[in-house]
Structure 1
Amino acid sequence: MTGIILYGAGNIFSLTAALERLSIPYGFINSQEDFKKFDRYIIPGVGHAGAAMDKLEKTGLVPAIKELKKPTLGICVGMQLLTSYSEEGNSDLLNIFPIKTLRFQDSADYKVPHTGWNQVYPEKDNPLFKNIPSGSHFYFVHSYFIEYDKTYTLLSANYSTEFSASIWHDNFYGVQFHPEKSGVYGETLLTNFSKL
């Protein structure tokens, strides 16, 4: 069963609607005791990474998140929270991945935020992306990106610069895109995660 970590910065409705469509059972985590009820966890997120980290710290759940040993998936800002630092708000984050979240540079060819469908390319084999072909399109909405680091990158994408569309370290996974808004391949990813 999947536990969604609630901290006031997630787009919960679209995520839970997708899980319900896929008949993936889920519940909510509001306290440290709640972690025991679930086999895997999702950290959702939209908006400002610094503000999201402040909200997460106020829940008191940060120490428990850092100690998680079961599969844990950060989505969008939830993925950025897993990094060490974000230029958004000059914020220190969870530091589960020793990499940084940086801001896209506006230009005539590349508007910020990066909004819409973009292709992703696998860098490593991983069951999270089983039956998802290289070059598949996923839906992105973000002004900040996770710097490309070959050690942790599961999927890469390009928007003015190469960046990590997905990261992985031990039991922690992150995706910059929104699988719950990414059609059949997004649903495939959520199904794969439910089986990790």
Structure 2
Amino acid sequence: MMLTSVFAWFIISSTTAYGDVMFLRRGTNASVEISCEFPNITKDGSLMAFALKCHQNQSKEVQYLNLNSTPKITNKNTRFSVKKLPKSRKVNVIITNLQEDDTDIYWCVFYYNKGLEVQIQINGSTEFFLYVEAPEQCSCSNLLLYVLTAVALLLFFCVLILTRAYYRKPTVQPVYEDMRAVRSLNRPKD
């Protein structure tokens, strides 16, 4: 799964014309905050709306915020929340309770009014590659755990016995010689 996601990220990032790519790695049931900065535009354009889009199969709109009204959640999911920071050129999107299928490339789109009926769409300069990891299952079975514990205990006792045998005081063996059979050369014979 991870290899295909990374491969898709390389292909998509090489074929799109965005500036920066930010890699965000999170676990399932975690949350992530995506911060989008308004691009510079001429004086006569006013920011009207903001959208967060993703690449899944086609470019689909995940979240839409009309700055003159309340946020409209496109995907009917309450896991997404949008905050426009006052006196700042940023919009923060918070995605909570992440799932594996949230792994995707996200980008921000800004809609500007330029006149009565003219609307300009400008993509943000940063793409966000969000990778959501699934929790890994323990592949250890109970039998394997018991076998490893038994082997560790056996090795411990072997080391203990060998250490005790190595550092044991040697027993003193007295050396006695039978001197009766030895005759002295200087002694007279009877």
Q: Aligning the two structures, in what range does the TM-score lie when normalised by the shorter sequence?
A: under 0.3
- Bigger Cα Rg: 2
Higher RCO (C-alpha 8 Å, min separation 6):
2
